[in-house]
Structure 1
């Protein structure tokens, strides 16, 4: 019970920290929307910050996926001193790699912009290229942030995963405002550069004050542990790479559409991603070590029961949130961004994309969860193969839909591809975990769909009762009504997780 309680409180703390970090991210987007709306400047700003982020997420994923289990193994077998030597070697290898890539990024900035934002031309392309030259040195900070973050997770610190976004977003907010009032758009790029290093500084202070880690001059590229790490993360590296390729294609196609399309997709996806980046990420961050230990044992029944419960809980949480985001898409966009240069037409423009992205939330959430289950099994090949198939479908649908449906076609392709990936992953999971109770999982999913459907009808029907209220009140009242109806429906059909929760609240 004590362990369960600690797990519960850690999860709550992580969700709160994620909301703080994500909340400031929304403030940043609101400030950008207020000063620049959906313009060529905001398009360039969004496109250019994705260049180093997309490229170096590959290396970050490699560190997170491969470094943690190998460090733990070395620590158990050879002691913490040897494990820290391995950590230093990883840090220094990636430091050298980051320096090389930073120089290459600055030198080949024009080619990178053509890849990531090939639709830009004229002054917009020139501005994007100049921004890219300024921010490419952020690659150094981005890669090392992943190393520090992985080490802190090993030491039992999880909140920094979200809280490191606090200085990152605050710096960007300040520089967006300064750039607008000084009428110097290059200040925005400088802000991105400083913001990335503020993250690195924050984590470096945490490592120094919270852990016993000491930097050492160890650089062994041919270290067997480094080679083993690279072999382990090879499939993850490939699957992450094709996912980033998908983002590149999305943004490149959007950059060739009407001005503001890149920004519209960015604003709407930021809102839709809050479910996966706050709630699902918090759950997986806490539960991943537990899953890893569980799958290291031979108890197939416990493995199946844990996975089944995990999937069912995600169904119950994600379905109603998807429904509410779809229903209140326009109000949400108005509340978050509808001010300054972000006029009523822009609100309508962005909210249409949000409705479509909302339909992909369920698929994206389950995809992330199922990937973690396979990683716990030390199976990185299945997520890679299914990820490649899903990305191929996404890119194919992008080209098929963008001509007629423009930016909404790109959003539709993203939503459908995440659902396709989830279906493929679930089919493979059933084959790997023969103890899964498919009937129970299907029943729980249908109950959550039923509850969400009735909730949506009631919320839609009640909107006329407070149509004169502000957007915020409509979201608040409608959301509370929706959640209450959802819980009541599940209680009436005696859904087991809701009944357990009600019993605990009663006690």
Structure 2
């Protein structure tokens, strides 16, 4: 139950963050639509946003948590934590300054197609300022890893919501008067608020500075480099999309961003929370087969209906979320198609994250790196084929991303299939697929009905069918939620 408890806490916080993140993106769509300004901003924001995922949701957490958890058990956390914090801070500052200084070269590398376009100089200008966000998000990622090790998952996950709230407030107040400058200010102030939000919850954590190179820091770096490489390779997916989209028509980068942001809502809420709680559980020596199988079933329970819902309601969702202001009707149709293509990889992306945590918990960072690297090669080839050879354009890029998720998951599964109770997993999968397909049919009958009615109705139908089929995991989750509600109402 511990993995479900932490997974639910993290998922709720991440879900809130994603919802507030939607508000942020809706405001960008409302004030700037699909334009050269949004293409420039999304390219400039790509690198620091990727660093946030790399450190906050990926490599650093995977390398740091097992070592820090062991030091806490042995009562030796102070020396390791202070030494790690000092060197982390110095590297973070140095990296930020390098990126600001070489912004033009970096933009030319990640989106070469825009060098010949009118908004290249604007992109470079925005990048020099937005790259400063790296410093704030880097420290936030460090505090997230510390709190996760101590069993606190909700607070660091919710910190991203604080960023989104700060960003949104700045844009609302200043967009009409200062144009794209409001986007730059929103990123920087939102990042500062996000960092400061962690401080009250770090009470009792022995933070400090020490230039002594603790022996476990060496072990951390030894694990961190391949871990970052693994998660970094995974993040190359976004850069491949941006790289190829820069050669397509104006607005392609923005279409990918808007669709991917909706796609990340279920992906982040489902997979990241389960992956982090699974890593924590396995790092503390809990049953490997039981917890991995439980994570797989829980991910499938939530991700499969999300795929069905995105396929059925994509255009209505995009219309509801973005279809106002400067975001035009054609923009809605294109983003919906891209979203449907992305959604085909949701289940496999989510399961892949869980499997990566299994490897990281036992100190194996090489296998996930290799899986991600091979997946990226596969994505690049298929995305180019779909987008440029088959002439599917920006939709083809999303299909390439979905294809790579299947490939990477299959590679990891080949090395871990023995630690999953397949009989237990398949018994749940049959019920989930049956309930999901019934939900999809029901959703088609509700096309044209308001999403405020059709989505809750479909969700109710899905979970009702699972309850009728006596899906054990859903019953356990409902029992935990009921106990949590009683505690909140009667503290």
Q: Would you say same fold, with TM above 0.5?
A: yes
Alignment of 1:109 with 2:129, yes or no, is no
**Equivalence for 1:219:** 211
Query: Alpha-carbon deviations, 1:64-100, whole Å to 9, x = none?
Result: 12222222223333x2xx4222212111112211222
CA RMSD of aligned residues (A): 2.6
**Equivalence for 1:273:** 264
**Equivalence for 1:231:** 222
**Equivalence for 1:76:** 73
CA distance 1:504–1:271, shift in 2 (3 Å): closer
CA distance 1:304–1:175, shift in 2 (3 Å): same
Question: Any residues of structure 2 matched to 1:410-489 within 5 Å, and which?
Answer: 410-431=397-418, 433=419, 436-463=420-447, 467=448, 469=449, 473=450, 475-489=451-465
Is the contact between residue 35 and residue 177 of structure 1 (CA under 8 Å) also seen in structure 2?
no
**Equivalence for 1:386:** 371
Is the contact between residue 170 and residue 182 of structure 2 (CA under 8 Å) also seen in structure 1?
yes
Deviation at residue 341 of structure 1 after TM alignment: 0.4
CA distance 1:505–1:250, shift in 2 (3 Å): closer
Is the contact between residue 84 and residue 213 of structure 1 (CA under 8 Å) also seen in structure 2?
yes
Question: Any residues of structure 2 matched to 1:114-129 within 5 Å, and which?
Answer: 114-120=108-114, 121-129=116-124
Match of 1:35 among 27, 31, 36: 31
Query: Alpha-carbon deviations, 1:218-263, whole Å to 9, x = none?
Result: 113x542221111123331221222233321211211221221111
Is the contact between residue 360 and residue 418 of structure 1 (CA under 8 Å) also seen in structure 2?
yes
**Equivalence for 2:486:** none
Match of 2:141 among 121, 146, 164: 146
Deviation at residue 59 of structure 1 after TM alignment: 5.1
Alignment of 1:135 with 2:122, yes or no, is no
**Equivalence for 1:94:** 88
Query: Which residues of structure 2 form unaligned runs of 5+?
Result: 484-491
CA distance 1:119–1:205, shift in 2 (3 Å): farther
Deviation at residue 505 of structure 1 after TM alignment: 10
Deviation at residue 361 of structure 1 after TM alignment: 0.9
Alignment of 1:337 with 2:322, yes or no, is yes
Deviation at residue 9 of structure 1 after TM alignment: 5.7
1:160 & 1:143 partners in 2: Cα distance? Answer: 16
Q: Secondary structure at the match of 1:273?
A: helix
Deviation at residue 408 of structure 1 after TM alignment: 0.5
Is the contact between residue 6 and residue 273 of structure 2 (CA under 8 Å) also seen in structure 1?
no
1:57 & 1:485 partners in 2: Cα distance? Answer: 34
**More displaced stretch, 497-506 vs 313-322:** 497-506
Query: Which residues of structure 1 form unaligned runs of 5+?
Result: 296-301
Deviation at residue 116 of structure 1 after TM alignment: 2.0
Q: Secondary structure at the match of 1:328?
A: helix
Query: Alpha-carbon deviations, 1:175-206, whole Å to 9, x = none?
Result: 32344311442232132122222222222343
2:439 & 2:398 partners in 1: Cα distance? Answer: 25
Is the contact between residue 307 and residue 347 of structure 2 (CA under 8 Å) also seen in structure 1?
yes
Question: Any residues of structure 2 matched to 1:162-241 within 5 Å, and which?
Answer: 162-207=157-202, 210-216=203-209, 218-220=210-212, 222-241=213-232
Is the contact between residue 230 and residue 365 of structure 2 (CA under 8 Å) also seen in structure 1?
no
Higher-Rg structure is 1
Question: Any residues of structure 2 matched to 1:315-334 within 5 Å, and which?
Answer: 315-334=300-319
Is the contact between residue 230 and residue 372 of structure 2 (CA under 8 Å) also seen in structure 1?
yes
Query: Alpha-carbon deviations, 1:283-327, whole Å to 9, x = none?
Result: 3333432232345xxxxxx43233223212222221112101211
Is the contact between residue 113 and residue 243 of structure 2 (CA under 8 Å) also seen in structure 1?
yes
Alignment of 1:283 with 2:274, yes or no, is yes
CA distance 1:16–1:485, shift in 2 (3 Å): closer
Could you tell me the TM-score, scaled by structure 1's length? 0.87
Match of 1:65 among 55, 62, 68: 62
Q: Paired residues, what number?
A: 479
Query: Alpha-carbon deviations, 1:127-177, whole Å to 9, x = none?
Result: 000011112222222222111221222333222222212331122113323
CA distance 1:185–1:179, shift in 2 (3 Å): farther
Match of 1:18 among 10, 14, 17: 14
CA distance 1:178–1:88, shift in 2 (3 Å): same
